[in-house]
Structure 1
Amino acid sequence: MTTEAPASSPVRGWERLPVAARIALIYVAARLVTTAFFLLASALSGPGSRYGVAPSLTELALGWDAQWYWLAAVSGYPADLPITTTGHIAENAWAFMPVYAYLSAGLGTVLGSWAAGAVTISLAAGYGASLLLYSLLRERIGASAAMWAVVFFASGPLAALFQVGYAESLFLFLLFAALRCVQKRRWGWLYLLVPAMGFTRPGILAFALFLGLYGIHRFLLRRSEGLPTREVVHIVALGALAVVVGFAWQVIAGLVTGDPGAYLATELAWRRNWVADGSGAFVPVEGWVQAAGFWFAQWGLGAVAGYIALAVLIGAVAAALLALPQVRSLGVEVRLWSASYLIYLLLVFFPQSSIFRLLLPISPLWGALAVPRSRVWRLGVLAFALIGQWWWIYNMYALGNTFWQIP
């Protein structure tokens, strides 16, 4: 025989709170933990750190890529590309999209500084993303598991990005809103969300691929689920819009600088910190192949082992997305988006320490780890997330002093 909890019990009180309030409490608690980690990292930061001894929270929030967004906001984008001593295009602001940079500047005029605007946007967008993540998952895995997925998301290894001057938080908010629109088949909002995402950070071409795969999925199931002509038009039009937006920044950079390859050359400038420039041109998938050989050689395992490991990794990820019941339970939209984004990374990225940050857009997969109902399991996942968060903050901020430790 089961006994109901008293009406005044903490569990009953928690469940009576509106979902938005529950998520707000989770999010605020997670941000306090992250702040404590930052303060500890500041105390451990020494003369060899990028930040020096005992940097302030503001200095930490403005580190690394935040400086580039700030530079874009205050100085704009260079018409004359900087050139290295070897004749290559050097790192510059064209690698950083304008929406977050300028929104932060606009809010910063009210709050007193670009940093205040940037952190406020990151904090607010992170909370909004948490609400949308819950909405994305609740109908698929249930309210309890969806709430635990929010806990993992808000407390995860990369949760520090919710309170620093990076565009990831805003991008996640826009992305989750877009995925929710696809779930609910509310196509009109996507005509605004797609350009907003595309000019916030790279990745909109992955969304174009997602819409293509989603369209194929709907076509294959048209007899059982239906596929009105109106939806076909929206899916095709939005996919085309995402492609156009995905290449628009490259075109803009080319027009402003007079160099059609300005954007891709700028992105490749960061890769040269690890490997030789090779052909000097962008080649899809080349980054992962180069990285497999480079990293495994650094670890003394040999380049061939790296290539084998890369193939095994690709196969394992594909199998997980296709076959794991916990992943399948998240719904076709989350699975197709995750596959599309991972394919995008495989095509364009050179894996290094930033790979952890770049995996944030597949955060809906936290839902798969929340599906098992065991409290021990869920608390274990949370402990792993928090340990990972401290490890990341310690390495990227307390010790961050070389290109081997880039957020």
Structure 2
Amino acid sequence: MKRLLKEYGPALAIYLVTRLLAVLFVVATSPGRVVHMEALPGYHSVGPAILPADYGTVMTSWDSQWYWDIAQNGYPDSARGADGQPQQTSLAFFPLYPMLVRLLMAITKLDFPIVAPTLSLLIGAAAVLVVYRLTAEATGRGQALSAVALLCCFPAAPIFQAAYTESLALLLVGSALLLVLRQRYWWAIIPVLLLGLTRNISLVLAPVIALHWWVRVARPLRRRDGRIPWPPVSLLALFTASVAATGMWLLLAGAITGEPDAYLTTMKAWPGFTSSPFDPPWLAAAHRTGAAGWVVLAVLVLSYAGLLLRLAQRSPGPELWGWAATYPAYILMTTGATWSIVRYLLLSFPIALALVPGPQKGNSKMMRASLVAGLCLLGIAAQWVWVSKLLVYAGPQGGWGFP
């Protein structure tokens, strides 16, 4: 037990302290500011807001209401409205998280505003420990703690304790990457399939798995005897699972509704939907805003590319670098230009390694700690803005809100 506390205690302490800080941010910004969000056009409401607002109201607002609906009522029997046109339904939200909440609600007899944020908080703790273990095995303990600190101070990190799927998705992604790093391919299939029931991102793991095979398996053998081997059956099975998991919820949604295209149908009713990755919503947004939009998009893409090059110099391995490269590219191709991108990028955690000095540079521990502390303070300041302007709705005159 002592050994476990010594190894994982600092990472867990960072998580708990930053979560308490997030609670203070929510409590400080919510009284007198949250209005009845049911009045927002297109806002789906299950549990009415409490005025003055409390912590549970804030942490179960926005898309959390869809998960509340699923946990309480299950899924609808159609993705179309009475007029036959696609409509926004809970079929757009994957089932693993709300079903876990539903199970715990049945066991504990507690309500959604208590069970869901608590579950997210606990899963988030497990996710941070997995990220720490993964990063420590890839780069070393010092860099792993720095990465965990930056992750926990990321502007959207309070979502770890909201009724959203970021905590669960991070746990499953981190677990899959850790098992791939350890070459436990059969075991890695489990988190990959569960990820397919959590978020529509399991496909992103396919190129990461392919990169892992080339760097860890094929290239060393090619250098040794000049031949490129076939991937082992277990690795091929894992690659296939990452692709197949992408269609799991599509098939289940079709079975629930009797409409084979139910998931895609309901997605058409959501802003920013695109039927092709070759027509990403971000390009359309840049086109609408003119030259300024293209400049902003170019700066963002080039800046991230620079971070990827810097990350490659840290030699984190194909698993972390591959995920840091492919996941944001996938988000750029498939999601709309909304403020939600901030929380989506929470899962791009390996990029934090590009922001801290590498051990091979001979930097002192004090220098690294000072730099990480400065970055964390900047992140916490941005976190305050994220909570006060985006998470806690302040009405049409006082907050931006998630589009």
TM range (shorter): 0.7 to 0.9
Measured in 2, the distance between the counterparts of 1:135 and 1:231 equals: 26
Maintained 8 Å contact 1:99/1:200: yes
Q: How does 1:90-129 map to 2 (within 5 A)?
A: 90-111=87-108, 112-129=110-127
Measured in 1, the distance between the counterparts of 2:281 and 2:106 equals: 40
Q: Is residue 349 of structure 1 aligned with residue 346 of structure 2?
A: no
Gaps of 5+ in 2: 39-48, 359-364
Deviates more, 1:375-384 or 1:397-406: 397-406
Q: Is residue 146 of structure 1 aligned with residue 144 of structure 2?
A: yes
Q: How does 1:65-214 map to 2 (within 5 A)?
A: 65-83=63-81, 88-111=85-108, 112-214=110-212
Measured in 2, the distance between the counterparts of 1:260 and 1:220 equals: 42
Provide the residue aligned with 2:60 in structure 1: 62
**TM-score computed with the length of structure 1 as normaliser:** 0.83
Measured in 2, the distance between the counterparts of 1:378 and 1:247 equals: 40
Q: Which stretches of structure 1, 4 residues or more, deviate above 4 A after TM superposition?
A: 14-17, 46-53, 224-231, 280-283, 400-404
Provide the residue aligned with 1:246 in structure 2: 246
Provide the residue aligned with 1:263 in structure 2: 263
- Percent identity, aligned pairs only, is 29
Measured in 2, the distance between the counterparts of 1:145 and 1:318 equals: 21
Provide the residue aligned with 1:405 in structure 2: 401
Deviation at 1:48, TM superposition (A): 7.8
Provide the residue aligned with 1:38 in structure 2: 26
Shift in CA distance, 232/316, structure 1 to aligned 2, threshold 3 Å: farther
* Letter of the structure 1 residue corresponding to residue 352 of structure 2: W
Measured in 2, the distance between the counterparts of 1:320 and 1:84 equals: 49
Deviation at 1:158, TM superposition (A): 1.4
Provide the residue aligned with 1:363 in structure 2: 349
Measured in 1, the distance between the counterparts of 2:340 and 2:11 equals: 28
* Letter of the structure 1 residue corresponding to residue 107 of structure 2: V
Measured in 2, the distance between the counterparts of 1:91 and 1:225 equals: 56
Gaps of 5+ in 1: 1-13, 298-302
Maintained 8 Å contact 1:329/1:368: no
Say which SS state the counterpart of residue 166 (structure 1) adopts. Answer: coil
Provide the residue aligned with 1:300 in structure 2: none
Deviations 1:141-186 (CA, angstroms, capped at 9, x unpaired):
3322211221222232111111111111011011111111111111
Provide the residue aligned with 2:382 in structure 1: 388
* Letter of the structure 1 residue corresponding to residue 393 of structure 2: L
Provide the residue aligned with 1:320 in structure 2: 307
Measured in 1, the distance between the counterparts of 2:74 and 2:164 equals: 17
Deviations 1:93-147 (CA, angstroms, capped at 9, x unpaired):
1111111101111112233123332222211111111111111222343322211
Deviates more, 1:394-403 or 1:185-194: 394-403
Q: CA RMSD in A?
A: 3.0
Provide the residue aligned with 1:20 in structure 2: 8
Provide the residue aligned with 2:361 in structure 1: none
Deviation at 1:368, TM superposition (A): 2.5
* Letter of the structure 2 residue corresponding to residue 212 of structure 1: A
Say which SS state the counterpart of residue 76 (structure 2) adopts. Answer: coil
Maintained 8 Å contact 1:215/1:232: no
Shift in CA distance, 265/138, structure 1 to aligned 2, threshold 3 Å: same
Q: How does 1:328-339 map to 2 (within 5 A)?
A: 328-339=314-325
